Chain A
Amino acid sequence: MSERLENLLQEAFPDAGGLEVVDRTGGGDHFHVTVVSPRFAGLSLVDQHRLVYDALAEPLADGTIHELRITTRGDA
């Protein structure tokens, strides 16, 4: 499941300088994703996280992701 999220993030952030998906519990539904991308530069944290939510809209909507933690950095 981590791989699916990684692929979705890779598609949404092809210029990502760093991309990490951690399955926090090993159960395949609690994730911590970290994305470092120049796309975040100048955006508020809310807008940065919205981009990540957009990228993961499908697994969020179908219930695959039960809990999601997000860390974003613009300094890629």
Chain B
Amino acid sequence: MSDLSNRIQQTIDTQPVVAFIKGTHEQCMCGNSERALQALRSVGASFTAVDVLPDPAIREELSAISSWPTIPQVFVGGELVGGADIVEELALSGELKTKLDEKLGDSWRSGGEERTLEVTERQDPFRVVG
């Protein structure tokens, strides 16, 4: 397993609610990614976003892990809940809240906090090589 794949898996395992999207939570670059974030916001869930755009490998490794071909992908408590269509449908039906309760107890109701994480390794420009 590659380092990148490990970091993606670790992100899925450790973040209560994580949405892999095109862009960031502040500047979403894709309509479907935005729909998924809006669905999470509509139930007041705090979430972590991961931008897949910096490196095409993120998307490839993520889809290999999840067996899900498209972006966005929303995970709750380590489990793939779905893409934009499913998360939107579950938010409307009330089942998204049920899923969040089941997986996370009350902890997801922490006031709708949002942030974006990077899974690619930052290259330190001052790193001495060789």
Chain A interface (Cβ < 8 Å from any Cβ of B):
45-46, 49-50, 53, 57, 60, 67-71
Contact = CB atoms under 8 A, between A and B. Distances in A.
Contacts of B80: 46
Contacts of B85: 49, 69-71
Contacts of A50: 67-68
B14 to A, nearest CB: 21
A70 B32 CA distance: 12
Interface in B72-130: 80-86, 89-90
Given A46-B68, A46-B82, A69-B84, 19 more contacts: A45-B82, A45-B89, A45-B90, A46-B80, A46-B81, A46-B86, A49-B82, A49-B83, A49-B86, A50-B67, A53-B68, A53-B69, A53-B70, A67-B31, A68-B70, A69-B32, A69-B85, A70-B85, A71-B85
Nearest to A32: B85
Nearest to A67: B32
A5 to B, nearest CB: 15
Given A50-B68, A60-B70, A45 B32 contact: no
B32 to A, nearest CB: 6
